[in-house]
Amino acid sequence: MTFAAREVTKAFGGLTALSKVSLELQPGEVHGLIGPNGSGKTTLLNLLSGYYKTDGGAITLDGADISATSVQQRANIGVARTFQKPRLLPTLSVLDNAMLGGWRDARAGFLASAFSLPAAREDEAVLRRRAEELLHGVGLSRVIGRRANLLEHAEQRFLEIARGLAQRPRFILLDEPAGGLTPAEIEHLGAIIRVMRDGGIGVLLVEHHTDFVFRVSDRVTTLDVGSVIKHGTPDEVRLDPEVIRVYLGA
Amino acid sequence: MHLSRKSISILIVMAALITLPWWSGDLYKLHLAALIGAYWVLIGGLNLVVGYSGQLSIGHVGLLAIGAYCFTILAGTHGVHPALALAAAGGLCGLCGLLLGLPSLRLPGFYFAMATLAFALIVTEITLAQGELTGGGIGLAVPGFPAPFDTPQGSYWLILAIAALVTWLTWNVARFTWGRGLIAIRDSVVTAQAVGVPVFRAKLTVFVASGVTAGVAGALFAVLQSYITPDTFIFELGLFFFVCIIIGGRGHILGPLLGTVVLTALPELVSPLARLGTFFYGLLLLVVVLLVPEGIGRVFEVVVEYFRPRKPESHVVNPDLQRLARAIQGSSRK
Protein backbone atom coordinates (compact mmCIF):
# COMPACT_ATOMS: atom_id res chain seq x y z
CA MET A 1 0.00 0.00 0.00
CA THR A 2 1.74 3.15 -1.20
CA PHE A 3 0.68 6.74 -1.78
CA ALA A 4 3.01 8.28 -4.31
CA ALA A 5 3.80 11.11 -6.66
CA ARG A 6 5.43 9.72 -9.81
CA GLU A 7 7.48 12.22 -11.80
CA VAL A 8 4.90 14.95 -11.30
CA THR A 9 5.24 18.30 -13.02
CA LYS A 10 3.27 21.42 -12.19
CA ALA A 11 3.54 24.82 -13.86
CA PHE A 12 1.77 28.09 -13.05
CA GLY A 13 1.80 30.15 -16.21
CA GLY A 14 5.41 30.22 -17.33
CA LEU A 15 6.76 29.25 -13.92
CA THR A 16 7.54 25.57 -13.39
CA ALA A 17 6.88 24.94 -9.70
CA LEU A 18 7.67 21.23 -9.80
CA SER A 19 9.56 19.28 -12.39
CA LYS A 20 9.43 15.45 -12.46
CA VAL A 21 9.30 15.06 -8.71
CA SER A 22 8.76 11.61 -7.22
CA LEU A 23 7.92 10.83 -3.63
CA GLU A 24 6.61 7.68 -1.95
CA LEU A 25 4.70 7.53 1.27
CA GLN A 26 4.28 4.17 3.04
CA PRO A 27 1.83 3.37 5.83
CA GLY A 28 3.50 3.48 9.22
CA GLU A 29 6.31 5.79 8.22
CA VAL A 30 7.07 9.46 8.68
CA HIS A 31 8.33 11.06 5.51
CA GLY A 32 9.89 14.50 5.93
CA LEU A 33 9.75 17.01 3.07
CA ILE A 34 12.12 19.96 3.38
CA GLY A 35 13.53 22.65 1.16
CA PRO A 36 13.97 26.41 0.91
CA ASN A 37 11.00 28.76 0.46
CA GLY A 38 9.56 28.44 -3.01
CA SER A 39 11.07 25.01 -3.60
CA GLY A 40 7.62 23.53 -4.24
CA LYS A 41 6.82 21.75 -0.95
CA THR A 42 3.29 23.08 -0.59
CA THR A 43 2.67 22.68 -4.32
CA LEU A 44 3.53 18.98 -3.99
CA LEU A 45 1.23 18.69 -0.98
CA ASN A 46 -1.60 20.32 -2.95
CA LEU A 47 -1.04 17.88 -5.80
CA LEU A 48 -1.13 14.93 -3.41
CA SER A 49 -4.33 16.11 -1.70
CA GLY A 50 -5.97 17.03 -5.01
CA TYR A 51 -6.31 20.83 -4.77
CA TYR A 52 -4.04 21.09 -7.83
CA LYS A 53 -4.06 18.82 -10.84
CA THR A 54 -0.79 17.56 -12.27
CA ASP A 55 0.53 18.83 -15.61
CA GLY A 56 2.60 15.70 -16.03
CA GLY A 57 3.28 12.47 -14.17
CA ALA A 58 0.76 10.84 -11.84
CA ILE A 59 -0.46 10.59 -8.27
CA THR A 60 -0.98 6.93 -7.42
CA LEU A 61 -2.49 4.98 -4.55
CA ASP A 62 -1.61 1.28 -4.37
CA GLY A 63 -0.42 1.57 -7.97
CA ALA A 64 -3.71 2.96 -9.28
CA ASP A 65 -3.59 6.37 -10.96
CA ILE A 66 -5.75 8.79 -8.93
CA SER A 67 -4.48 12.01 -10.57
CA ALA A 68 -7.94 12.92 -11.85
CA THR A 69 -9.83 12.40 -8.60
CA SER A 70 -11.23 15.33 -6.61
CA VAL A 71 -10.15 16.44 -3.15
CA GLN A 72 -13.29 14.84 -1.72
CA GLN A 73 -12.65 11.51 -3.41
CA ARG A 74 -9.14 11.45 -1.98
CA ALA A 75 -10.53 12.21 1.45
CA ASN A 76 -12.87 9.28 0.96
CA ILE A 77 -10.08 6.85 0.11
CA GLY A 78 -8.10 7.84 3.17
CA VAL A 79 -6.02 10.98 2.53
CA ALA A 80 -6.29 13.68 5.23
CA ARG A 81 -4.36 16.93 5.53
CA THR A 82 -3.79 19.97 7.69
CA PHE A 83 -3.07 23.50 6.51
CA GLN A 84 -0.18 25.89 6.91
CA LYS A 85 -2.63 28.41 8.34
CA PRO A 86 -5.16 26.39 10.36
CA ARG A 87 -8.54 26.31 8.65
CA LEU A 88 -11.12 25.77 11.34
CA LEU A 89 -14.76 26.73 11.53
CA PRO A 90 -14.56 29.74 13.86
CA THR A 91 -18.14 29.73 15.18
CA LEU A 92 -18.24 26.01 15.99
CA SER A 93 -16.94 24.33 19.13
CA VAL A 94 -13.71 22.37 19.25
CA LEU A 95 -15.73 19.16 19.43
CA ASP A 96 -17.82 20.08 16.37
CA ASN A 97 -14.68 20.95 14.43
CA ALA A 98 -13.21 17.55 15.19
CA MET A 99 -16.50 15.80 14.39
CA LEU A 100 -16.54 17.48 10.98
CA GLY A 101 -13.70 15.08 10.11
CA GLY A 102 -16.19 12.23 10.44
CA TRP A 103 -18.37 13.44 7.54
CA ARG A 104 -17.40 10.46 5.38
CA ASP A 105 -18.55 8.01 8.03
CA ALA A 106 -21.95 9.61 8.56
CA ARG A 107 -24.09 7.28 6.51
CA ALA A 108 -27.45 8.93 7.22
CA GLY A 109 -28.66 11.12 4.37
CA PHE A 110 -30.26 14.56 4.48
CA LEU A 111 -33.79 13.31 5.12
CA ALA A 112 -32.69 10.78 7.75
CA SER A 113 -30.99 13.65 9.57
CA ALA A 114 -33.95 16.00 9.17
CA PHE A 115 -36.31 13.43 10.71
CA SER A 116 -33.74 12.48 13.35
CA LEU A 117 -34.00 8.81 12.40
CA PRO A 118 -32.08 6.27 14.51
CA ALA A 119 -29.40 6.00 11.80
CA ALA A 120 -28.59 9.71 12.12
CA ARG A 121 -28.50 9.58 15.92
CA GLU A 122 -26.24 6.50 15.88
CA ASP A 123 -23.86 8.19 13.42
CA GLU A 124 -23.76 11.17 15.71
CA ALA A 125 -22.99 9.13 18.82
CA VAL A 126 -20.18 7.20 17.10
CA LEU A 127 -18.60 10.35 15.67
CA ARG A 128 -18.88 12.17 18.98
CA ARG A 129 -17.18 9.37 20.91
CA ARG A 130 -14.37 9.12 18.36
CA ALA A 131 -13.81 12.89 18.29
CA GLU A 132 -13.79 13.11 22.09
CA GLU A 133 -11.21 10.35 22.37
CA LEU A 134 -8.99 12.00 19.75
CA LEU A 135 -9.30 15.41 21.42
CA HIS A 136 -8.33 13.97 24.78
CA GLY A 137 -5.50 12.17 23.00
CA VAL A 138 -4.01 15.29 21.41
CA GLY A 139 -4.43 17.21 24.65
CA LEU A 140 -7.46 19.43 23.98
CA SER A 141 -9.78 18.00 26.63
CA ARG A 142 -9.87 21.30 28.55
CA VAL A 143 -11.19 23.31 25.60
CA ILE A 144 -13.53 20.73 24.10
CA GLY A 145 -16.61 23.00 24.29
CA ARG A 146 -14.89 26.26 23.40
CA ARG A 147 -15.53 28.11 20.14
CA ALA A 148 -12.64 27.50 17.77
CA ASN A 149 -12.00 31.22 17.21
CA LEU A 150 -11.05 31.53 20.90
CA LEU A 151 -8.24 28.98 20.67
CA GLU A 152 -4.54 29.66 21.03
CA HIS A 153 -2.37 28.99 18.03
CA ALA A 154 -1.03 25.64 19.24
CA GLU A 155 -4.55 24.48 20.08
CA GLN A 156 -5.66 25.30 16.55
CA ARG A 157 -2.82 23.24 15.10
CA PHE A 158 -3.59 20.24 17.31
CA LEU A 159 -7.31 20.54 16.56
CA GLU A 160 -6.56 20.32 12.84
CA ILE A 161 -4.66 17.10 13.50
CA ALA A 162 -7.58 15.73 15.53
CA ARG A 163 -9.97 16.62 12.68
CA GLY A 164 -7.65 14.86 10.23
CA LEU A 165 -7.51 11.77 12.45
CA ALA A 166 -11.31 11.78 12.78
CA GLN A 167 -11.28 11.07 9.02
CA ARG A 168 -9.66 7.71 9.87
CA PRO A 169 -6.93 8.41 7.33
CA ARG A 170 -4.43 5.97 5.90
CA PHE A 171 -2.20 8.92 5.06
CA ILE A 172 -2.04 12.33 6.67
CA LEU A 173 -0.27 15.30 5.11
CA LEU A 174 0.91 17.91 7.62
CA ASP A 175 1.73 21.35 6.19
CA GLU A 176 4.21 23.04 8.54
CA PRO A 177 2.57 21.73 11.73
CA ALA A 178 5.38 23.08 13.96
CA GLY A 179 5.01 26.65 12.65
CA GLY A 180 4.53 29.05 15.57
CA LEU A 181 4.81 26.37 18.28
CA THR A 182 6.98 26.64 21.38
CA PRO A 183 9.76 24.05 21.90
CA ALA A 184 7.62 22.20 24.44
CA GLU A 185 4.68 22.11 22.01
CA ILE A 186 6.96 20.87 19.24
CA GLU A 187 7.94 17.96 21.52
CA HIS A 188 4.23 17.11 21.97
CA LEU A 189 3.76 17.34 18.20
CA GLY A 190 6.66 14.94 17.68
CA ALA A 191 5.14 12.46 20.14
CA ILE A 192 1.75 12.70 18.40
CA ILE A 193 3.38 12.10 15.01
CA ARG A 194 5.10 8.98 16.34
CA VAL A 195 1.80 7.67 17.72
CA MET A 196 0.17 8.21 14.33
CA ARG A 197 3.03 6.35 12.64
CA ASP A 198 2.85 3.47 15.13
CA GLY A 199 -0.87 3.34 14.47
CA GLY A 200 -0.08 2.48 10.84
CA ILE A 201 -0.71 5.90 9.31
CA GLY A 202 1.66 7.27 6.69
CA VAL A 203 2.67 10.80 7.70
CA LEU A 204 4.03 13.37 5.26
CA LEU A 205 5.70 16.14 7.21
CA VAL A 206 6.31 19.40 5.34
CA GLU A 207 8.37 21.52 7.68
CA HIS A 208 10.98 24.25 8.07
CA HIS A 209 12.28 23.12 11.46
CA THR A 210 14.89 20.80 9.99
CA ASP A 211 16.17 19.56 13.37
CA PHE A 212 12.62 18.46 14.15
CA VAL A 213 12.21 16.79 10.75
CA PHE A 214 15.47 14.84 11.08
CA ARG A 215 14.43 13.72 14.56
CA VAL A 216 10.97 12.33 13.78
CA SER A 217 11.28 11.23 10.13
CA ASP A 218 12.12 7.77 8.84
CA ARG A 219 12.96 9.16 5.41
CA VAL A 220 13.53 12.68 4.16
CA THR A 221 13.15 14.23 0.70
CA THR A 222 14.76 17.59 -0.06
CA LEU A 223 13.42 19.86 -2.78
CA ASP A 224 15.11 22.81 -4.41
CA VAL A 225 13.60 24.95 -7.18
CA GLY A 226 11.06 22.28 -8.03
CA SER A 227 13.33 19.24 -8.15
CA VAL A 228 14.39 16.54 -5.70
CA ILE A 229 18.04 17.08 -4.79
CA LYS A 230 18.34 14.38 -2.16
CA HIS A 231 16.26 11.55 -0.83
CA GLY A 232 17.23 9.12 1.96
CA THR A 233 17.49 8.53 5.68
CA PRO A 234 17.75 11.62 7.91
CA ASP A 235 21.51 11.07 8.33
CA GLU A 236 22.15 10.69 4.62
CA VAL A 237 20.25 13.88 3.88
CA ARG A 238 21.76 15.87 6.73
CA LEU A 239 25.30 15.13 5.60
CA ASP A 240 24.69 15.58 1.87
CA PRO A 241 26.93 18.39 0.55
CA GLU A 242 24.29 19.64 -1.91
CA VAL A 243 21.59 19.84 0.78
CA ILE A 244 24.01 21.68 3.05
CA ARG A 245 24.91 24.08 0.27
CA VAL A 246 21.38 25.07 -0.84
CA TYR A 247 19.46 24.75 2.37
CA LEU A 248 21.03 23.85 5.67
CA GLY A 249 24.12 26.06 5.42
CA ALA A 250 27.48 25.22 6.92
CA MET B 1 -39.74 12.21 34.37
CA HIS B 2 -36.69 14.42 34.27
CA LEU B 3 -36.94 17.49 32.09
CA SER B 4 -34.10 19.85 31.27
CA ARG B 5 -34.56 23.59 31.57
CA LYS B 6 -34.48 23.75 27.77
CA SER B 7 -37.35 21.31 27.21
CA ILE B 8 -39.39 23.03 29.92
CA SER B 9 -39.04 26.39 28.16
CA ILE B 10 -39.94 24.77 24.82
CA LEU B 11 -43.07 23.26 26.42
CA ILE B 12 -44.07 26.62 27.93
CA VAL B 13 -43.63 28.41 24.60
CA MET B 14 -45.58 25.71 22.74
CA ALA B 15 -48.39 25.86 25.32
CA ALA B 16 -48.53 29.64 24.98
CA LEU B 17 -48.63 29.40 21.18
CA ILE B 18 -51.31 26.70 21.13
CA THR B 19 -53.57 28.65 23.47
CA LEU B 20 -52.93 31.94 21.64
CA PRO B 21 -56.46 32.13 20.11
CA TRP B 22 -57.92 32.43 23.63
CA TRP B 23 -55.64 35.14 24.96
CA SER B 24 -54.59 37.12 21.89
CA GLY B 25 -57.62 39.38 22.32
CA ASP B 26 -58.59 40.06 18.73
CA LEU B 27 -58.61 38.25 15.41
CA TYR B 28 -56.16 40.66 13.87
CA LYS B 29 -53.39 39.60 16.24
CA LEU B 30 -54.24 35.98 15.53
CA HIS B 31 -53.98 36.67 11.81
CA LEU B 32 -50.63 38.32 12.42
CA ALA B 33 -49.39 35.29 14.33
CA ALA B 34 -50.50 33.01 11.50
CA LEU B 35 -48.72 35.26 9.00
CA ILE B 36 -45.51 35.03 11.04
CA GLY B 37 -45.94 31.25 11.01
CA ALA B 38 -46.32 31.17 7.22
CA TYR B 39 -43.29 33.41 6.77
CA TRP B 40 -41.30 31.21 9.13
CA VAL B 41 -42.09 28.09 7.10
CA LEU B 42 -40.23 29.76 4.23
CA ILE B 43 -37.55 31.48 6.30
CA GLY B 44 -36.82 28.32 8.31
CA GLY B 45 -35.96 26.46 5.11
CA LEU B 46 -34.17 29.45 3.61
CA ASN B 47 -32.13 29.66 6.80
CA LEU B 48 -30.38 26.41 5.85
CA VAL B 49 -29.39 28.00 2.54
CA VAL B 50 -28.44 31.49 3.76
CA GLY B 51 -27.57 31.02 7.42
CA TYR B 52 -25.88 27.63 7.24
CA SER B 53 -24.44 27.03 3.79
CA GLY B 54 -23.92 30.78 3.20
CA GLN B 55 -25.62 30.97 -0.23
CA LEU B 56 -27.16 34.42 -0.55
CA SER B 57 -30.55 33.78 -2.11
CA ILE B 58 -32.66 36.93 -2.29
CA GLY B 59 -35.17 35.47 -4.73
CA HIS B 60 -37.21 33.10 -2.58
CA VAL B 61 -40.21 35.38 -3.01
CA GLY B 62 -40.38 33.87 -6.52
CA LEU B 63 -40.78 30.41 -5.03
CA LEU B 64 -43.35 31.77 -2.58
CA ALA B 65 -45.35 33.13 -5.53
CA ILE B 66 -45.16 29.83 -7.43
CA GLY B 67 -46.36 27.94 -4.34
CA ALA B 68 -49.20 30.39 -3.81
CA TYR B 69 -50.39 30.28 -7.43
CA CYS B 70 -49.99 26.51 -7.62
CA PHE B 71 -52.19 26.05 -4.54
CA THR B 72 -54.77 28.59 -5.68
CA ILE B 73 -55.04 27.26 -9.23
CA LEU B 74 -55.26 23.63 -8.15
CA ALA B 75 -57.56 24.07 -5.14
CA GLY B 76 -59.57 26.96 -6.54
CA THR B 77 -59.81 26.66 -10.32
CA HIS B 78 -59.59 22.86 -10.52
CA GLY B 79 -61.18 21.90 -7.22
CA VAL B 80 -58.34 19.66 -6.06
CA HIS B 81 -58.41 18.83 -2.34
CA PRO B 82 -56.48 21.57 -0.49
CA ALA B 83 -54.22 19.05 1.29
CA LEU B 84 -53.18 17.64 -2.09
CA ALA B 85 -52.76 21.15 -3.50
CA LEU B 86 -50.56 22.06 -0.54
CA ALA B 87 -48.34 19.04 -1.16
CA ALA B 88 -48.25 19.83 -4.88
CA ALA B 89 -47.15 23.40 -4.13
CA GLY B 90 -44.26 22.04 -2.04
CA GLY B 91 -43.31 19.50 -4.69
CA LEU B 92 -43.47 21.97 -7.58
CA CYS B 93 -41.30 24.50 -5.73
CA GLY B 94 -38.82 21.78 -4.79
CA LEU B 95 -38.55 21.04 -8.51
CA CYS B 96 -38.17 24.76 -9.27
CA GLY B 97 -35.44 24.91 -6.63
CA LEU B 98 -33.67 22.05 -8.37
CA LEU B 99 -33.94 23.70 -11.80
CA LEU B 100 -32.80 27.07 -10.45
CA GLY B 101 -30.05 25.60 -8.28
CA LEU B 102 -28.49 23.31 -10.90
CA PRO B 103 -27.01 26.10 -13.02
CA SER B 104 -26.73 28.86 -10.40
CA LEU B 105 -25.27 27.17 -7.31
CA ARG B 106 -21.94 26.77 -9.08
CA LEU B 107 -21.66 30.55 -9.36
CA PRO B 108 -19.67 32.55 -6.81
CA GLY B 109 -21.73 34.27 -4.09
CA PHE B 110 -22.52 37.59 -5.73
CA TYR B 111 -23.53 36.04 -9.05
CA PHE B 112 -25.68 33.45 -7.31
CA ALA B 113 -27.55 36.27 -5.54
CA MET B 114 -28.08 37.96 -8.93
CA ALA B 115 -29.41 34.71 -10.44
CA THR B 116 -31.98 34.37 -7.66
CA LEU B 117 -32.93 38.03 -8.10
CA ALA B 118 -33.47 37.45 -11.81
CA PHE B 119 -35.57 34.38 -11.02
CA ALA B 120 -37.88 36.38 -8.73
CA LEU B 121 -38.32 39.09 -11.38
CA ILE B 122 -39.09 36.51 -14.07
CA VAL B 123 -41.73 34.83 -11.90
CA THR B 124 -43.51 38.16 -11.37
CA GLU B 125 -43.56 38.80 -15.11
CA ILE B 126 -44.89 35.31 -15.84
CA THR B 127 -47.71 35.67 -13.31
CA LEU B 128 -48.68 38.90 -15.07
CA ALA B 129 -48.38 37.51 -18.58
CA GLN B 130 -50.15 34.17 -18.10
CA GLY B 131 -53.53 35.85 -17.61
CA GLU B 132 -55.86 32.89 -18.21
CA LEU B 133 -53.96 30.81 -15.64
CA THR B 134 -53.16 33.38 -12.95
CA GLY B 135 -55.79 36.02 -13.52
CA GLY B 136 -53.04 38.42 -14.62
CA GLY B 137 -53.06 41.77 -12.88
CA ILE B 138 -56.59 41.14 -11.53
CA GLY B 139 -55.45 38.15 -9.56
CA LEU B 140 -57.24 35.16 -8.07
CA ALA B 141 -59.41 34.49 -5.05
CA VAL B 142 -57.86 31.85 -2.82
CA PRO B 143 -60.04 29.04 -1.41
CA GLY B 144 -59.81 28.47 2.35
CA PHE B 145 -58.74 25.32 4.13
CA PRO B 146 -61.41 22.65 4.65
CA ALA B 147 -62.96 22.06 8.12
CA PRO B 148 -61.75 22.00 10.84
CA PHE B 149 -59.17 24.49 9.58
CA ASP B 150 -61.68 26.87 7.97
CA THR B 151 -61.89 29.26 10.94
CA PRO B 152 -59.19 31.82 11.83
CA GLN B 153 -58.32 29.65 14.86
CA GLY B 154 -58.22 26.47 12.79
CA SER B 155 -55.97 27.87 10.10
CA TYR B 156 -53.74 29.35 12.82
CA TRP B 157 -53.32 25.92 14.41
CA LEU B 158 -52.61 24.27 11.07
CA ILE B 159 -49.93 26.86 10.27
CA LEU B 160 -48.51 26.58 13.79
CA ALA B 161 -48.20 22.80 13.40
CA ILE B 162 -46.43 23.10 10.02
CA ALA B 163 -44.13 25.84 11.34
CA ALA B 164 -43.23 23.72 14.37
CA LEU B 165 -42.50 20.79 12.06
CA VAL B 166 -40.21 22.94 9.89
CA THR B 167 -38.42 24.22 13.00
CA TRP B 168 -37.86 20.67 14.22
CA LEU B 169 -36.64 19.44 10.80
CA THR B 170 -34.18 22.29 10.28
CA TRP B 171 -32.96 21.99 13.85
CA ASN B 172 -32.19 18.32 13.24
CA VAL B 173 -30.33 19.09 10.01
CA ALA B 174 -28.35 21.78 11.83
CA ARG B 175 -27.32 19.71 14.85
CA PHE B 176 -26.18 16.59 13.01
CA THR B 177 -23.32 16.05 10.57
CA TRP B 178 -25.14 17.96 7.83
CA GLY B 179 -25.10 21.16 9.86
CA ARG B 180 -21.34 21.01 10.31
CA GLY B 181 -20.84 20.23 6.62
CA LEU B 182 -23.02 23.19 5.59
CA ILE B 183 -21.19 25.59 7.92
CA ALA B 184 -17.91 24.30 6.49
CA ILE B 185 -19.17 25.25 3.02
CA ARG B 186 -20.04 28.70 4.35
CA ASP B 187 -16.86 29.41 6.32
CA SER B 188 -14.17 27.45 4.48
CA VAL B 189 -14.84 25.58 1.27
CA VAL B 190 -11.26 24.30 1.35
CA THR B 191 -11.91 22.62 4.71
CA ALA B 192 -15.21 21.21 3.49
CA GLN B 193 -13.43 19.61 0.54
CA ALA B 194 -10.60 18.31 2.73
CA VAL B 195 -12.99 16.28 4.90
CA GLY B 196 -14.94 15.04 1.87
CA VAL B 197 -18.09 17.21 1.87
CA PRO B 198 -19.56 17.12 -1.68
CA VAL B 199 -19.93 20.90 -1.82
CA PHE B 200 -22.21 21.32 -4.84
CA ARG B 201 -24.47 18.39 -3.99
CA ALA B 202 -24.88 19.57 -0.39
CA LYS B 203 -25.74 23.10 -1.52
CA LEU B 204 -28.24 21.74 -4.04
CA THR B 205 -29.87 19.47 -1.45
CA VAL B 206 -30.63 22.27 1.01
CA PHE B 207 -31.68 24.56 -1.83
CA VAL B 208 -34.26 22.02 -3.01
CA ALA B 209 -35.42 21.56 0.59
CA SER B 210 -35.81 25.32 0.94
CA GLY B 211 -37.83 25.25 -2.29
CA VAL B 212 -40.25 22.73 -0.79
CA THR B 213 -40.76 24.80 2.36
CA ALA B 214 -41.14 27.96 0.25
CA GLY B 215 -43.86 26.25 -1.79
CA VAL B 216 -45.75 25.15 1.32
CA ALA B 217 -45.31 28.63 2.78
CA GLY B 218 -46.71 30.08 -0.46
CA ALA B 219 -49.89 28.03 -0.09
CA LEU B 220 -50.34 29.04 3.56
CA PHE B 221 -49.57 32.66 2.74
CA ALA B 222 -52.12 32.66 -0.10
CA VAL B 223 -54.88 31.36 2.18
CA LEU B 224 -54.08 34.08 4.74
CA GLN B 225 -54.17 36.76 2.01
CA SER B 226 -57.41 35.21 0.61
CA TYR B 227 -56.75 37.06 -2.67
CA ILE B 228 -53.48 37.13 -4.59
CA THR B 229 -52.18 39.30 -7.40
CA PRO B 230 -48.64 39.67 -8.76
CA ASP B 231 -48.33 42.73 -6.50
CA THR B 232 -48.70 40.48 -3.44
CA PHE B 233 -45.22 39.13 -4.17
CA ILE B 234 -43.20 42.31 -4.42
CA PHE B 235 -39.47 41.96 -4.48
CA GLU B 236 -39.13 43.68 -1.07
CA LEU B 237 -40.73 40.59 0.43
CA GLY B 238 -37.75 38.53 -0.77
CA LEU B 239 -35.38 41.03 0.80
CA PHE B 240 -37.44 40.89 3.98
CA PHE B 241 -36.92 37.10 4.27
CA PHE B 242 -33.22 37.55 3.75
CA VAL B 243 -32.98 40.38 6.30
CA CYS B 244 -34.82 38.31 8.95
CA ILE B 245 -32.02 35.74 8.75
CA ILE B 246 -29.19 38.26 8.79
CA ILE B 247 -30.66 40.11 11.75
CA GLY B 248 -31.38 36.83 13.53
CA GLY B 249 -27.85 35.59 12.97
CA ARG B 250 -26.29 33.10 10.59
CA GLY B 251 -25.87 29.57 11.88
CA HIS B 252 -28.78 29.74 14.31
CA ILE B 253 -32.36 28.46 14.26
CA LEU B 254 -33.78 30.55 17.09
CA GLY B 255 -32.19 33.85 16.01
CA PRO B 256 -33.86 34.01 12.58
CA LEU B 257 -37.15 32.83 14.15
CA LEU B 258 -36.94 35.76 16.53
CA GLY B 259 -35.95 38.02 13.63
CA THR B 260 -39.09 36.94 11.74
CA VAL B 261 -41.34 37.58 14.72
CA VAL B 262 -39.84 40.99 15.50
CA LEU B 263 -39.71 42.26 11.92
CA THR B 264 -43.26 41.13 11.14
CA ALA B 265 -44.96 42.06 14.40
CA LEU B 266 -43.28 45.29 15.46
CA PRO B 267 -44.32 47.50 12.53
CA GLU B 268 -47.89 46.15 12.85
CA LEU B 269 -48.27 46.52 16.61
CA VAL B 270 -46.40 49.78 17.13
CA SER B 271 -48.18 52.22 14.84
CA PRO B 272 -45.40 54.87 14.58
CA LEU B 273 -43.14 52.14 13.19
CA ALA B 274 -45.72 51.22 10.55
CA ARG B 275 -45.47 54.74 9.13
CA LEU B 276 -41.73 54.36 8.86
CA GLY B 277 -42.20 51.10 6.93
CA THR B 278 -39.11 49.94 5.12
CA PHE B 279 -37.08 52.62 6.90
CA PHE B 280 -37.49 50.60 10.11
CA TYR B 281 -36.05 47.45 8.46
CA GLY B 282 -33.18 49.44 7.03
CA LEU B 283 -32.34 51.03 10.36
CA LEU B 284 -32.53 47.73 12.25
CA LEU B 285 -30.37 46.02 9.63
CA LEU B 286 -27.80 48.78 9.85
CA VAL B 287 -27.66 48.60 13.65
CA VAL B 288 -27.30 44.82 13.62
CA VAL B 289 -24.67 44.72 10.89
CA LEU B 290 -22.60 47.43 12.57
CA LEU B 291 -22.99 46.44 16.23
CA VAL B 292 -23.69 42.69 16.29
CA PRO B 293 -22.74 41.33 12.87
CA GLU B 294 -23.37 37.80 14.12
CA GLY B 295 -27.03 38.70 14.73
CA ILE B 296 -29.32 38.68 17.75
CA GLY B 297 -28.92 34.90 18.11
CA ARG B 298 -25.31 35.49 19.06
CA VAL B 299 -26.29 38.14 21.59
CA PHE B 300 -28.27 35.48 23.45
CA GLU B 301 -25.34 33.07 23.38
CA VAL B 302 -23.00 35.70 24.78
CA VAL B 303 -25.42 36.52 27.59
CA VAL B 304 -25.82 32.82 28.47
CA GLU B 305 -22.04 32.30 28.40
CA TYR B 306 -21.59 35.33 30.64
CA PHE B 307 -23.74 33.88 33.40
CA ARG B 308 -22.39 30.35 33.12
CA PRO B 309 -19.82 29.42 35.81
CA ARG B 310 -16.42 29.57 34.24
CA LYS B 311 -13.45 27.30 34.75
CA PRO B 312 -10.02 28.88 35.03
CA GLU B 313 -8.46 29.41 31.63
CA SER B 314 -5.67 27.05 30.70
CA HIS B 315 -4.06 26.82 27.33
CA VAL B 316 -1.49 24.13 28.07
CA VAL B 317 -1.76 21.42 25.45
CA ASN B 318 -0.95 18.15 27.13
CA PRO B 319 -1.45 15.10 24.94
CA ASP B 320 -2.50 11.74 26.39
CA LEU B 321 -0.54 9.50 24.03
CA GLN B 322 -1.90 6.14 25.21
CA ARG B 323 -5.42 7.38 24.72
CA LEU B 324 -4.52 8.77 21.30
CA ALA B 325 -2.97 5.46 20.28
CA ARG B 326 -6.11 3.60 21.39
CA ALA B 327 -8.34 6.09 19.54
CA ILE B 328 -6.33 5.64 16.33
CA GLN B 329 -6.22 1.84 16.65
CA GLY B 330 -9.91 1.66 17.50
CA SER B 331 -10.93 3.55 14.38
CA SER B 332 -8.33 2.39 11.86
CA ARG B 333 -9.53 1.09 8.52
CA LYS B 334 -9.42 -2.62 8.03
Instruction: Give the nearest chain A residue to B186 (CA atoms).
Output: A89
Residues ≥6 apart with Cβ < 8 Å to A126: A102, A105
**Of residues A64, A193, A127, the one with CA closest to residue B325:** A193
A130 in B contact zone (CB under 8 Å): yes
How far apart are alpha carbons B299 and B288 in whole angstroms? 10
Q: Determine, yes or no, domain membership for A84.
A: no
Residues A187 and A201 in one domain: yes
For residue A42, the Cα-to-chain-centroid distance in whole angstroms is: 11
B chain contacts of residue A104, beta-carbon cutoff 8 Å: 195-196
Final residue before a domain boundary, out of A135, A168, A201: A168
Q: Outline where A69-182 has alpha helix (H).
A: 71-76, 94-100, 110-114, 118-138, 153-166
DSSP for B8-29 reads HHHHHHHHHHHTHHHHS-SHHH
Residues A113 and A47 in one domain: no
Residues A127 and A149 in one domain: yes
Q: Determine, yes or no, domain membership for A236.
A: yes
The mean pLDDT of B234-259, rounded to a whole number, is 91
Strand-pairing partners, residue A4, are A24, A60
Judged by CB atoms closer than 8 Å, whether chains meet at B195 and A124 is answered as: no
| pLDDT given at position B315 | 67
Three-state DSSP at B42 gives helix
Give residue B77's identity as a one-letter amino acid code. Answer: T
pLDDT beyond 90 at B126: yes
Domain boundaries, chain B: 26-234
Residue B109: exposure state from Cβ atoms within 10 A (0-12, 13-18, ≥19): exposed
**How far is A98 from chain B, CA to nearest CA, in Å?**
10
Question: B77-122, pLDDT tens digit by residue?
Answer: 898 999 999 999 999 999 999 999 999 999 988 999 999 999 999 9
| pLDDT given at position B136 | 85
User: Of B180, B205, B294, which has the smallest distance from its Cβ to A100's Cβ?
Assistant: B180
Count up the domains in chain A and report the number: 2
pTM: 0.93
A173 in B contact zone (CB under 8 Å): no
Question: A9-46, pLDDT tens digit by residue?
Answer: 999 988 899 999 999 999 999 999 999 988 999 999 99
Q: Determine, yes or no, domain membership for A30.
A: yes
Is B205 in contact with A110 (CB distance < 8 Å)?
A: yes
A170 in B contact zone (CB under 8 Å): yes
Final residue before a domain boundary, out of A126, A147, A168: A168
Is B203 in contact with B101 (CB distance < 8 Å)?
A: yes
Instruction: Give the nearest chain A residue to B208 (CA atoms).
Output: A110
A98: domain range?
Answer: 90-168
How far apart are alpha carbons A232 and A217 in whole angstroms? 10
Element (H, E) at A183: helix A183-198
Residues A69 and A182 in one domain: yes
Element (H, E) at A33: strand A30-34
Instruction: Give the nearest chain B residue to A87 (CA atoms).
Output: B191
Judged by CB atoms closer than 8 Å, whether chains meet at A80 and B194 is answered as: yes
Q: Determine, yes or no, domain membership for A188.
A: yes
**Of residues B134, B118, B124, the one with CA closest to residue B71:** B134
Final residue before a domain boundary, out of A142, A168, A194: A168
Residues A123 and A55 in one domain: no
Q: Determine, yes or no, domain membership for A151.
A: yes
Is B49 in contact with B247 (CB distance < 8 Å)?
A: no
The mean pLDDT of A204-224, rounded to a whole number, is 95
Q: Determine, yes or no, domain membership for A85.
A: no
Q: Determine, yes or no, domain membership for A13.
A: yes
